[in-house]
Amino acid sequence: MFLDFSTLAPREAYFWMASTITPRPVAWVSSISKTGVTNLAPFSFFQMLTANPPSLMISPLLNSDGSLKDTPRNIEETGEFVVNLVTYGQVEAMNQTSFGYAPGESEFEKCAIPSLASSLVKPPRVAGASVSFECRLARLLPYPEEAPSCIVVFGTVLAAHIDEAIVGENGKVDPARLDLVSRMGADWYGRTQAEGNFELTRPAGWAR
């Protein structure tokens, strides 16, 4: 099968890309508006960028009318956000926060999501998350420039909250204890705890 993307509608392109570029980690992003309303929304267009400086990115799509979703608008206004990683036990709650609540309504409140105060930023973090990254906005980039369809948010990681339950005796994250969900195509999700996981040693001489 050959797909010429110049002939595909955006929705078709989305289907083929989102169904094959998998699994994608889910960023459950908490933010707060300039008036103090908290927001919580999941995004699977999300990834680590570099460790120097520690940075990550999320890429929320624009609303159908071209306006910003609550998350990038809040981040643009306040310069802060938290990326919470979603555990398997939180997947139903995460799914509920994907609903399009009206501006001024807090998903934390509407979906009864327990929260905890962050240490260095104002937006709260999700209680029970295995990992939460407190971030400061580094850059907000509409893309593509001539007719944006999304906003790429680059964040500098200021701090992380790590659940000690996922840390092994060697002081590092134990993949067998980490039970996160990832996005696949359509309504499918993946899970890091899977029998198919395996270790693979890098080639000899690789500089760690």
State the pTM of this model.
Answer: 0.94
Position 208 scores a pLDDT of: 60
Position 92 scores a pLDDT of: 96
The arithmetic mean of pLDDT across residues 29-37, rounded, is 96
Position 191 scores a pLDDT of: 95
Position 202 scores a pLDDT of: 84
Position 129 scores a pLDDT of: 97
How confident is the model over 68-127, as pLDDT tens digits?
999 999 999 999 999 999 999 999 999 999 988 888 899 999 999 999 999 999 999 999
Position 138 scores a pLDDT of: 98
Residue 204 pLDDT more than 90? no
Question: 207: pLDDT confidence band, cut at 50, 70 and 90?
Answer: low
Pick the residue with more confidence: 139 or 201?
Answer: 139
How confident is the model over 133-179, as pLDDT tens digits?
999 999 999 999 999 999 999 999 999 999 999 999 999 999 999 99
* Domains observed in the chain: 23-186 (2.30.110.10)
Q: What is the 3 state secondary structure string of the chain?
A: CCCCHHHCCHHHHHHHHHHHCCCEECEEEEEECCCCCEEEEEECCEEEEEECCEEEEECCECCCCCCCCHHHHHHHHHCEEEEEECEHHHHHHHHHCCCCCCCCCCHHHHCCCCEECCCCCCCCEECCCCEEEEEEEEEEEEECCCCCCEEEEEEEEEEEEECHHHECCCCCECCCCCCEEEECCCCCEEECCCCCCCCCCCCCCCCC
Position 100 scores a pLDDT of: 84
